[in-house]
Homo-oligomer: A and B are copies of this chain.
Amino acid sequence: MISDSVGETSLKLVNAVTAQFPTVEFDLSYRFPFTKDEAELKNILGDALKDSAVVVTTLVSDNLSQIVSDFGERTGLQYINLMAPFMDIVHQKTGVAPLKQAGVVHKLNKEYFDRVAAIEFAVKYDDGKDAKGFLEADLVLLGISRTSKTPLSMYLANSRLKVANLPLIPEVPLPEQIKNVPKEKIIGLVIEPNVQQKIRTSRLASLGLDENSRYANIDRIKEEVDYALGVYDELGAFTLDVTNKSIEEAATLICEHLDNSL
Task: Give chain A's interface residues, CB within 8 Å of chain B.
Answer: 5-9, 12-13, 15-24, 33-34, 52, 54, 56, 58, 60, 78, 80, 82-83, 85-87, 89-90, 93-94, 96, 98-101, 103-108, 112, 115-117, 119-120, 123, 126, 148, 150-151, 154, 157, 206, 244, 246-249, 251-252, 256
Given the interface pairs A105-B16, A116-B151, A154-B123, the reply to whether A23 lies near B96 with Cβ below 8 Å is yes
Given the interface pairs A108-B244, A252-B7, A252-B34, the reply to whether A94 lies near B21 with Cβ below 8 Å is yes
Q: Write the nearest CB–CB distance from A129 to chain B, whole angstroms.
A: 10
Given the interface pairs A12-B9, A108-B244, A123-B123, the reply to whether A89 lies near B83 with Cβ below 8 Å is no
Chain B CB within 10 Å, residue with most, of A21, A22, A23: A21
Q: Give chain B residues whose Cβ lies under 8 Å from the Cβ of A20.
A: 60, 83, 87, 90, 98-101, 104
Q: Give chain B residues whose Cβ lies under 8 Å from the Cβ of A93.
A: 52, 54, 78
Chain B CB within 10 Å, residue with most, of A85, A98, A106: A106
Given the interface pairs A12-B12, A17-B86, A150-B120, the reply to whether A24 lies near B94 with Cβ below 8 Å is yes
**B80 contacts A248, C-beta separation under 8 Å:** no
In the complex, residue of chain B having the shortest beta-carbon distance to the beta carbon of A127: B123
**A246 contacts B108, C-beta separation under 8 Å:** yes
Q: Give chain B residues whose Cβ lies under 8 Å from the Cβ of A82.
A: 13, 82
Given the interface pairs A80-B86, A90-B54, A105-B16, the reply to whether A123 lies near B120 with Cβ below 8 Å is no
Q: How far is the CA of A252 from the CA of B33 in the complex (A)?
A: 8
Q: Write the nearest CB–CB distance from A164 to chain B, whole angstroms.
A: 13
Q: Write the nearest CB–CB distance from A51 to chain B, whole angstroms.
A: 12
Q: For the A-B complex with A21-B99, A54-B86, A154-B157 known, give 4 more contacts whose Cβ atoms are closer than 8 Å.
A: A16-B83, A20-B83, A80-B86, A116-B151
